[in-house]
Amino acid sequence: MTTLTRRGFLAATAAFAALPLVPARARAAADTFSLTATTRVIEVNGRAATVMGLLDAQGRPGLRLDPGQRFRTDLTNALDIDTIVHWHGQIPPNAQDGVPNTNPMLKPGQSRSFDFAARPGTFWMHSHIPEQEIGLLAAPLIVRRPEEVAEDRQEVVMLLHDFAFATPQEVLETVTGGTAMDHDAMDHSAAPMPGMQGMGDMMSMPGMAEMHASMEGGMSMDLNDYEFDAYLANDRTLVDPEVVRVEKGGRVRLRVIDGAAMTAFWIDTGAATARLVAVDGNPVVPLPGTRFAISPGQRLDIEIDLSGDGTAVPILALREGTRERTGLILAPKGAAVPKLADLSENPHPAVSGDMTQEIVLRAVTPLAARPATAQPMVMLMGSMLPYQWTIDGRSWENRRPVEAKSGERVEMMFHNMSMMAHPMHLHGHTFQVIEVNGTRFAGAVRDTVSVPPMGSVTVALDAGEAAPWMLHCHHMGHLATGMMTEFLVRA
């Protein structure tokens, strides 16, 4: 079994800057990638920890594809347990999607080949077994566009995780037992975030004031299910953060991936001029700001203009509702690297329930205008005690799929009847956000959208390959207890 030391991993990180499945086969090295699901050792606040990982042939995390390259990859399981890997945000044939219910598990020592056209953008790969994703079996999947190669800017990837020294099984047992957190002790503020310049007064929009009032009227959101031991950015905490060398006065494209199992963050660029240019791999009309919301499973591409004075720029990920934070530092040559505490002075506001960012995002390439012929409603239900989360009140075993015909325009409403936000992810498709809490607009194209507590989000999509596609909450505790179903596309 391949084991990569922490220092070796960090060096590798710096360098990283209906078809049937077929047995792994030899191909020319120039057009074939390889990945290994394995264990590795990292250091968290001075303590060694063995976690899982997805490493390429050079021992680096994940894959980076150039424009036009296919996802032609051989995956080997070097773990001592069965696994399966999902290519989050990509649209492979259903038989290569990497989910347990429709694809066979990869047994220890077994290899399997994947071959499909890669969508450009910021994506990631992860096990579709909740315990394994909690155990950090995940990595970036970056597919560059031609214009990104031509642009004069540096690319930086920041993969976020929540980390526990307890085993993933113990984490889930604690969460599902309802003993993970004292939710009454938390700051449940749903106030809009500062730093989102140019957004206007969103509280004047239909539905927003009513939602805010409901949160102020005695009901409090549940924000976090578990007190993890650390929050990681590229496997490191702020005790020993990654320092990325950048050019003074240059421009950076920061690709942020929320690979955390149960945690939403604000991405804070501090004093640096920044703008959000893509979400979930899909370009958006640039949105200036200094703080940007991200929920589990989502990705953000943020352009950052560095000042000409050579000052180091911390890029922080602020855990919602608490003082905890992680991040990395962009530092020109010779810059003083600041020492940063892993706790802010004050708790960070909630990401959950704050839909300000989502409502103002606009896709560069929206869906073509078409009338919807299917308008299903998906009810998101559950509670902290007992800890049980469902879709339409049904467990996975008793699921009732959401159905559509291939090629059909679908407008799917997620109606959240719980006091916790749910990052809903649909496999095999992208969708456009078209309504939040009764406010209709032509929003961003995504594959994962956060549905606010006691609120609703409607998305539009064109049903793709005739097959069963997973539809689920990307919070691992919610997924593990039943918040998943299928989007069943019929021919």
The residues near 265 (Cβ < 8 Å, ≥ 6 apart) are: 160, 258, 293, 294, 317, 318, 319, 320, 351
pLDDT by residue (tens digit) across 458-469?
999 999 999 999
325-332 and 243-246 strand pairing: parallel
Among 142-156, 162-176, 470-484, name the one with the lowest average pLDDT.
142-156
Phi, psi dihedrals of residue 183, rounded to the nearest 5°: -70, -25
CATH 2.60.40.420 fits 377-490, yes or no: yes
**Positive or negative: CA dihedral 277, 279, 283, 284:** negative
Q: How confident is the model at residue 13 (pLDDT cuts 50, 70, 90)?
A: very low
Please check whether residue 450 is in contact with residue 264, taking contact to mean a CB–CB distance below 8 angstroms.
Answer: yes
Residue 256 corresponds to which tokens in the numbers above? 């942020």
So what's the pLDDT on residue 371? 97
Q: How many residues does the chain have?
A: 491
Q: Where are the domains of the chain?
A: 6-144, 170-357, 377-490
Higher pLDDT pick, 55 / 223: 55
SS3 labels along 433-447: EEEECCEECCCCEEC
Please check whether residue 424 is in contact with residue 414, taking contact to mean a CB–CB distance below 8 angstroms.
Answer: yes
pLDDT by residue (tens digit) across 281-337?
999 999 999 999 999 999 999 999 999 999 999 999 999 999 999 999 999 999 999
Let me know if the fold of 6-144 is the same as that of 377-490.
yes
Among 108-112, 127-131, 232-236, 269-273, name the one with the lowest average pLDDT.
269-273
Please check whether residue 452 is in contact with residue 437, taking contact to mean a CB–CB distance below 8 angstroms.
Answer: yes
Question: At the topology level of CATH, where does 6-144 sit?
Answer: Immunoglobulin-like (2.60.40)
- Among all chains, which residue has been given the structure tokens 């899982």? 52
So what's the pLDDT on residue 180? 54
Residue 463 corresponds to which tokens in the numbers above? 């049903």
So what's the pLDDT on residue 179? 58
Mean pLDDT of the chain, nearest integer: 88
pLDDT by residue (tens digit) across 237-290?
999 999 999 999 999 999 999 999 999 999 999 989 899 999 999 999 999 999
Q: How far apart are CA 337 and CA 201, in angstroms?
A: 37
Question: Residue range 419-441: average pLDDT?
Answer: 97
Other residues' Cβ atoms within 10 Å of the Cβ of residue 337: 11
CATH 2.60.40.420 fits 170-357, yes or no: yes
Residues 404, 409, 415: CA angle, nearest 5 degrees: 70
**Residue 59 region, left (φ>0) first, then alpha (ψ -120 to 50), else beta?**
left
So what's the pLDDT on residue 177? 84
Helix %, strand %, coil % of the chain (to 5): 10, 40, 45
